[in-house]
Structure 1
Amino acid sequence: MSIGIFDSGIGGLTVFREISREFPEADIYYLGDTARVPYGNKSKNTIIRYSLECANYLLGFGIEALIIACNTASSYALETLQESLDIPVIGVVEPGVELAIRYTKNRKIGVIGTQATVKSNSYKFSIEEKGDFQVFQKACPLFVPLVEEGMIDHKITEMVIKEYLEDLVKEGIDTLILGCTHYPLLKESIQRIYPYLTIVDSSKAIALYFNNIGTEFKGRGEKKIFITDESHSFEKLKNMLVGNIPLEKLELSKLCSL
């Protein structure tokens, strides 16, 4: 069985890595829309249009399941893609929510993400629908550029983590959802500063989701990664996360009419 994964850029490679580990025989095709990153500051209609274009390209590989490895696109475009495509479409929100609810002891859950993800309230609404939980959200717009610059273990990054998370910690959260697929790269730094927090990594949550529903992915083990614009930071982090899988530059005109 083959899987398509798309994200606005680098972050979804954390999902690619976990799916590859859990299902090594699966054929996996990844599209990073680096020419139009970030999605987090775009309008809902634009995010939906970009998501449909990415999905339609990946369908050309005969994929049998699609993962939206972008919290912003999951928040705004999931329903449209599920209605438009005749294959299973999975976003990152629900798997992360399910894990957070399972982990929390005091029912106080923090969510961090892009401006668009936080504004959508997708995590908040989903968690509150499932019971009497308190949800505290925080947009962390500097995290993505810090990750993409490779400043993962850096004093500046540590300062920014404290700046963003201190208010959530003061609210008494015991569980923190990393509501952006870039953020798992900061997981160790966050855990080091706040060792008492249980951190929900959306990339691992998706792999667990597929395992829990008993999906079998068996193919030739083919792995392909496409980007819509050259990106040194993408290649650097790609090598760190998934090794020497080659990158293929995809002209944006293959996705949309320019």
Structure 2
Amino acid sequence: MHEPVKNNAAPFLSPEAPIGIFDSGIGGLTVAKEVMKQLPNENIIYIGDTARVPYGTKSDRTIKAFTLQSCLFLLEHDVKMIIIACNTSSAVALDFIANMFRIPVIGVIQPGSQAAASRSKNHRIGVIGTHTTVNSQSYKKTITSLESKAEVFSQACSLFVPLAEEGWLHHGVTDQVCSEYLKVFEGTNIDTLVMGCTHYPILADSIDKAIQKIMGHPVTLIDSGVETAQVAKNILAEKKMINTHSKASHKFYVTDLPKNFTAVGERFLGKKLDSIEMVNVESMGF
């Protein structure tokens, strides 16, 4: 196991070194898509721990152990940065992981919260996510730490994940489910809504339509993947580590059979996935 070290940039890594992206499953591909969009020359290595998803039902110690194992796998591939694209791992394990490695490690909660706090004009912000993310109050705590005047209203939207994975993007059922979940925000006067799960941007059109109708005024949607990719870009630019030379290579790894990951992943990314390999990460870490 790698010894804990301070989180400063590894001087021996070149700008051509890949960015590592970790998620407990498939949802982190929406973050990967934004990284590809904002940093088109970057090589990317993605690991989805599909054998042990969901993480939300696990203890904090187990989440830290599982996250560490996948991050050590990425480190073995000489990544120059790790993006923890899992909201549960970001809430529970980010600081633990960041303190162990000497490369930048970022999560999705801080960038999404920062965007919400800065863009809301009336400081009334909605957050939607899984039960685990909402119950952790990680977005609420982060947003209010950034903006003391902020009032945060949260709603768990558990059916959004299967709807996204089934590809029901423009479907009457999806519109109905969105309206049912989001009507809880009626009367809150929110002007900003954080999509606090990496699956949710797939349903952004339906979410946007429902929340605008319910609120009766424009509501800014915050996609944590977009914001996280921008933070990654800023960090790499500051360290002069943006890859401007090589043709991008994207490699994907999973910890269970890749069949379902391939089908859903291609829909999430909007492109064909050519390189998917099943790996075992359980021997790494604890």
* TM-score of the pair, normalised by structure 1: 0.93
Matched letter for residue 203 of structure 2: L
Partner residue in 1 for 2:230: 208
What CA distance in whole angstroms lies between the structure 2 residues aligned with 1:183 and 1:227? 21
Partner residue in 1 for 2:46: 30
Deviation at 1:38, TM superposition (A): 1.4
Task: Select 1:100's aligned residue among 105, 110, 116.
Answer: 116
Question: Which string of whole-angstrom CA distances, capped at 9 and with x for unpartnered residues, describes residues 75-131 of structure 1?
Answer: 111011011112110000111011111211111111111122112211111111122
Partner residue in 2 for 1:137: 154
Partner residue in 1 for 2:187: 170
Would you say 1:227 and 2:243 are equivalent positions? no
What CA distance in whole angstroms lies between the structure 1 residues aligned with 2:42 and 2:234? 17
Would you say 1:217 and 2:242 are equivalent positions? yes
Deviation at 1:8, TM superposition (A): 1.1
What CA distance in whole angstroms lies between the structure 1 residues aligned with 2:115 and 2:253? 30
Segments of 5+ residues of structure 2 without an aligned counterpart are: 1-14, 213-217
What CA distance in whole angstroms lies between the structure 1 residues aligned with 2:187 and 2:203? 20
Q: What is the aligned residue count?
A: 256
| Correspondences of 1:87-166 after superposition (within 5 Å) | 87-130=103-146, 131-166=148-183
* TM-score of the pair, normalised by structure 2: 0.84
Seq. identity, % = 42
What CA distance in whole angstroms lies between the structure 1 residues aligned with 2:98 and 2:186? 35
Q: Is the 8 A contact 2:86 2:108 kept in 1?
A: yes
Q: Is the 8 A contact 2:39 2:233 kept in 1?
A: no
What CA distance in whole angstroms lies between the structure 2 residues aligned with 1:211 and 1:250? 29
What CA distance in whole angstroms lies between the structure 1 residues aligned with 2:283 and 2:122? 47
Instruction: Report the CA distance shift for 1:160/1:127 in structure 2 as closer, same or farther (over 3 A).
Output: same
What CA distance in whole angstroms lies between the structure 2 residues aligned with 1:192 and 1:231? 33
Instruction: Report the CA distance shift for 1:89/1:169 in structure 2 as closer, same or farther (over 3 A).
Output: farther
Deviation at 1:217, TM superposition (A): 2.2
State the superposition RMSD in angstroms.
1.7
Instruction: Report the CA distance shift for 1:41/1:153 in structure 2 as closer, same or farther (over 3 A).
Output: farther
Task: Select 1:16's aligned residue among 13, 28, 32.
Answer: 32
Q: Which moved more, 1:145-154 or 1:211-220?
A: 211-220
Partner residue in 1 for 2:6: none
Partner residue in 1 for 2:202: 185
Segments of 5+ residues of structure 1 without an aligned counterpart are: none
Partner residue in 2 for 1:250: 278
Q: Is the 8 A contact 1:57 1:255 kept in 2?
A: no
Structure 1: which 4+ aligned runs deviate by more than 3 Å? 254-257
